[in-house]
């Protein structure tokens, strides 16, 4: 390659790889605005969903002060499957 051809080639590459700082700053500002607006909209949607659901509900279980008896404890999966199988076979079990 000749000297002028190399200079032109390097000049062409610089045109494509250089980014004007004004455009880069504008992109960063737009991304920040997008982030803020998305958070604002999601916050509003969550408030509307909470109001429609009947107010805030605690996600932590409350402890009961009364002791649980055997009747209060839900049946296990195996016990429930046995009960369903017995119903299919026509056998009736008394509940304890």
The per-residue DSSP string of 62-91 comes to PPPSSPP-TTTSPPPHHHHHHHHHHHHHT-
In this prediction, residue 39 carries a pLDDT of 96
CA distance 95 to 93: 6
Question: CA-CA distances (angstroms) from residue 24 to 20, 38, 60?
Answer: 7, 21, 46
In this prediction, residue 58 carries a pLDDT of 56
* Residue showing tokens 């605005």: 33
Query: Which of 61, 89, 86, 63 is CA-nearest to residue 75?
Result: 86
In this prediction, residue 35 carries a pLDDT of 97
In this prediction, residue 6 carries a pLDDT of 60
The 10s digit of each residue's pLDDT in 7-63 is: 565 666 666 667 789 998 999 999 999 999 999 999 999 999 998 887 655 556 566
In this prediction, residue 9 carries a pLDDT of 58
């Amino acid at each position: 390659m000749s000297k002028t051809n190399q200079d032109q080639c390097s000049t062409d590459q610089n045109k494509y790889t250089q980014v004007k700082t004004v455009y880069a700053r504008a992109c960063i500002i737009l991304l920040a605005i997008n982030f803020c607006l998305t958070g604002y909209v999601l916050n509003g949607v969550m408030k509307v969903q909470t109001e429609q659901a009947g107010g805030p509900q605690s996600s932590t279980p409350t402890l009961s002060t009364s002791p649980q008896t055997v009747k209060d404890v839900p049946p296990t999966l195996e016990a429930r499957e046995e009960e369903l199988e017995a119903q299919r076979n026509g056998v009736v079990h008394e509940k304890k």
